[in-house]
Structures are given as C-alpha cells and as structure tokens.
C-alpha cells in the first residue's frame, strides 16, 4: 500500500496545481478514535499525537509527527520532509508555514461531502489557536474540491484493485445462485455468502449484518437492514445487495433472481417488464455518460426511464462513487435534493468509478433492483461488472 500512498500524494500535488491552491493541511490526532477519511489515501497508517500532513503545489511535502511515528512516516517515501517533535508540534507547524507562506491553506471541512469533512471541531479550534497571531488562520479554505478530485480520480493501481473486488463478488454470486433453493430463509442464504467471504479471504464492503442484503418476496424490508427468517417461495423475486472489500478496495453489486410459481414456465409479464425497464435505465444512463457532465444529468436519464414507464421514482440517487469504501464520497449521480447538498452538481471525470442502481418494487412479487459498477473513461464509461441483462429464473 506504500506505493498507492505515493501515487495519491503525487496526484494531490497535481490537483493543487490545477486548482491553484498553495498548500493542503491535514490535521489529525489519535486516528484510531477519530480517523480522517482521507488519511488512508495520503498516509495509510494511524497517527497518535497531533500530526500535520502538508502537501504543496510546488511538490514539497511535509509530515510533522510525534517522534515515535517519524520512522513510519519516513518509510512511506511519500513525504520529502519528516519533522518529528516531542512536546508541541505548534512551533514546527508555524516554521513550515512561514517558509512556505501559502496564499491559501486547504483544510478538511465540507458542507457537502462527508469524506472531505474529517477535521473535527475540536481540532479546528486547536489549529486556530496554533495559528493565532500569524495571519494564516485568515487563509484557511475548504479542501472539499481537492479531496473530491483525489478520491474520485482513481489511479491505474486503484482501478485494478476495484476490478479484482468486482470479480470476486461476481464469483460469490454465481456460487450463491447455485446454492439457494425455495424453502431457504434469507438468513440461510446470507450465511452461505458469509462463508464465501471466508473462502475467498475477503471482507464485506459494509457492515456484515446487512452485507449481503437478501430480500425475498413482497414483504421483505429493502434497504440497510439485515436478512430475515422469510423463506424463498415460488413467485418471489429474490433481490441481493452485496459487495466485498478486497485489498482495501470495494465492490457494490445488486442482482435479482425470480422463482417460478406453480404452472409458470417463464416469469410473469409484470416481473419481466419491470426487469427490462431497470436494464434499460442502466444501459441508457451508462451510454450517456461523458466527462464534464454533471451527476444530476445522468440521474435524470435513469430516473426518467423508470417514471416514464409508469413506476414511482426511486427515493435515492442513481449512483455513488466507489473505491476504498462502498460509498466513496465526492460527486453523486443523484437528484438535486437537500440531503445530497451540492454533490449532484459535481462534474464527472475520467478515472471515477460509480455504481448505477435504479430499482422498483413489483407489487406481489418483491423488489427489483440492479446495481452495476462502472469506470468513467476519456470518451464515456465502461462496465467493470458484467451487467445482468437477462432475468435469471429457476
């Protein structure tokens, strides 16, 4: 992971130049208790004492850390200067800033993006006390745009790790579809999938209690809730939401299977039509993507296909970014709703990885949601997952 940290620190320098921000300061302490979401990208370790990671657009980089963590910082080979301290880091921080004299200092707070909001209020107050009388506290700005770009623009190494997680997830789905039968409960199926996590030596992409989500039939609660004792029955749609974390990078995929009712040789028209609409929404949304678009434009395409077919709109965003976490912050393929802040207005960029996940409930049958993982490239987007375009039925 040291190579990845070096890649992301170098990438941060380029983004600072692009945004014309002089310096970026990540200020943390005791990160096992309160971890800044950006730390895994630019440091990859925990930090104990008050610590400052400074990256500048000139390319000079600084890690001001407690003496007993200085060697770890040096071994990263990501920071050109590692500055240890014993009693207080404040003098060292002021010395570095005085030498740099940055016009702007980006710090990690954001009204829109939780992954860019890692600076706690207490640490912010402490930073202001360090900078009192220097004039630098008047130069502090949000690092939101910088962090969004850094998280979103995946390096080639990051993309390869996400591809590997997606491939493992697809294998687990294949094994699960071969395993499950009518009469099994949602819990039975989830426990099998947990055994597959162990088999492949990977972790769930989110909390194991609801990774996977398994929903059978119309009475299963859909969302961030765990599997239940409901049994798979003929005439049920079985819906899955599942991802793995493999080598610190995630996948996030939804799939559906239909179990034929007595006398059926094919899924009923209501189920097949709903499935076809969701596939169309995904395919057209992905085909529309071009760098420079806003996420809300892609959301509008997928959402419009669903509602034009006569279904209610789904009450969540069409897609989110994917990376070190399943919900990886930054821009969103979403509607302009207050709860999403400004993130649906962010621009789509090459290197970003998104999910695309419209869904609908089919009365009497269950929830029909698909989710694919995609990569934005220079002239559009490509699927990282093998999209489900045919309704699996048993």
DSSP string, 105-128: EEES--SS-GGG--S-HHHHHHHH
Query: Which of 33, 31, 72 is CA-nearest to residue 48?
Result: 31
Q: What is the C-alpha separation between 67 and 15, in angstroms, rounded?
A: 30
Three-state DSSP class for 384? coil
H or E element at residue 146: helix 144-152
Inter-axis angle of helices 156-179 and 186-200, nearest 10 = 130
Three-state DSSP class for 368? strand
| Res. 289 pLDDT band, cuts 50 70 90 | very high
pLDDT at 264: 97
Over residues 43-58, the mean pLDDT reads: 97
By percentage, how much of the chain surpasses pLDDT 70?
100
| Res. 1 pLDDT band, cuts 50 70 90 | low
Condensed to tens digits (0 to 9), the pLDDT of residues 115-162 reads 999 999 999 999 999 999 999 999 999 999 999 999 999 999 999 999
E strands of 276-391, at which residues? 319-320, 332-333, 353-356, 359-362, 366-369, 372-377, 380-383
Q: Is the pLDDT of residue 86 over 70?
A: yes
Over residues 181-185, the mean pLDDT reads: 98
Degrees to nearest 5, angle at CA 55 with 53 and 58: 155
Three-state DSSP class for 264? coil
| Res. 294 pLDDT band, cuts 50 70 90 | very high
Radius of gyration of the chain measured on its C-alpha atoms: 23
Over residues 235-264, the mean pLDDT reads: 98
Q: Which residues contact 136 (CB under 8 A, 6 or more apart)?
A: 97, 102, 105
pLDDT at 76: 96
Pick the CATH number of 153-393 from 3.90.230.10, 3.40.50.620, 3.40.980.10, 3.60.150.10: 3.90.230.10
Q: Which residues of 279-298 are buried (b: 16+ CB within 10 A; e: fewer)?
A: bbbbbebbeebebebbbbbb
Per the omega criterion (within 30 degrees of 0), is the bond before 59 cis? no
* Burial class of residue 189 (count of CB atoms within 10 Å of its CB; 0-12, 13-18, 19+): buried
Q: Is the pLDDT of residue 100 over 70?
A: yes
* CA of residue 186 relative to chain centroid, distance: 26
Distances from the Cα of 273 to the Cα of 270, 279, 370, angstroms = 5, 10, 14
Phi/psi region, residue 356 (left: phi>0; alpha: psi -120 to 50; beta: rest), is: beta
The length of the chain is 394
Domain ranges of the chain: 2-151, 153-393
H or E element at residue 255: strand 253-258
- Identify the CATH homologous superfamily for domain 2-151: Creatinase/prolidase N-terminal domain (3.40.350.10)
Condensed to tens digits (0 to 9), the pLDDT of residues 327-349 reads 998 999 999 999 999 999 999 99
CB 31 within 8 A of CB 43: no
Distances from the Cα of 338 to the Cα of 112, 169, 185, 335, 348, angstroms = 10, 33, 38, 9, 20
pLDDT at 113: 95
| Res. 224 pLDDT band, cuts 50 70 90 | confident
Distances from the Cα of 263 to the Cα of 161, 248, 330, angstroms = 45, 47, 49
CB 214 within 8 A of CB 236: no
pLDDT at 2: 72
Distances from the Cα of 325 to the Cα of 290, 321, 362, angstroms = 24, 9, 30
- H helices of 210-266, in order, are none
């Amino acid at each position: 992971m040291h190579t990845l940290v070096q890649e992301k620190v170098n990438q941060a320098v380029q983004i600072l130049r692009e945004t014309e921000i002089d310096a970026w300061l990540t200020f943390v302490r005791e990160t096992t208790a309160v971890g800044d979401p950006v730390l895994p990208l630019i440091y990859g370790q925990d930090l104990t004492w008050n610590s400052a990671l400074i990256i500048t657009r000139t390319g000079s980089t600084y890690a001001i850390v407690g003496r007993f963590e200085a060697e770890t910082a040096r071994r990263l080979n990501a920071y050109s200067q590692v500055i240890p301290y014993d009693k207080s880091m404040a003098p060292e921080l002021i010395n570095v800033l005085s030498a740099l004299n940055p016009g702007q200092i980006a710090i990690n707070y954001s009204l829109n993006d939780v992954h860019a909001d890692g600076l706690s209020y207490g640490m912010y107050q402490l930073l202001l006390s360090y900078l009192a009388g220097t004039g630098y506290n008047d130069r502090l700005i949000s690092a939101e745009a910088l962090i969004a770009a850094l998280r979103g623009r995946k390096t080639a190494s990051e993309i390869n790790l996400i591809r590997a997680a997606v491939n493992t997830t697809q294998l687990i789905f294949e094994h699960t579809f071969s395993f499950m039968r009518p009469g099994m409960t949602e819990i039975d199926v989830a426990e099998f999938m947990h055994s597959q996590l162990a088999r492949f030596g990977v972790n769930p992409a989110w909390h194991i209690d609801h990774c996977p989500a398994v929903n059978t039939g119309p009475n299963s609660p859909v969302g961030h809730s765990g599997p239940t004792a409901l049994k798979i029955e003929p005439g049920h749609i079985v819906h899955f939401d599942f991802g793995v974390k493999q080598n610190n990078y995630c996948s996030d995929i939804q799939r559906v299977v239909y179990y034929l009712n007595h006398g059926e040789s094919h899924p009923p028209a209501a189920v097949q039509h709903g499935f076809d609409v969701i596939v169309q929404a995904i395919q057209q949304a992905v085909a529309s993507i071009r760098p420079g678009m806003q996420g809300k434009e892609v959301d509008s395409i997928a959402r419009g296909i669903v509602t034009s077919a006569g279904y209610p709109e789904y009450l969540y965003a069409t897609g989110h970014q994917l990376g070190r976490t399943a919900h990886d912050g930054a821009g969103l393929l979403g509607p302009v709703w207050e709860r999403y802040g400004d993130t649906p207005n962010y621009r789509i960029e090459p290197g970003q990885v998104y999910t695309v996940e419209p869904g609908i409930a089919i009365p009497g049958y269950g929830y029909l949601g698909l989710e694919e993982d995609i990569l934005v490239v220079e002239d559009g987007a490509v699927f990282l997952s093998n999209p489900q375009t045919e309704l699996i039925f048993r």
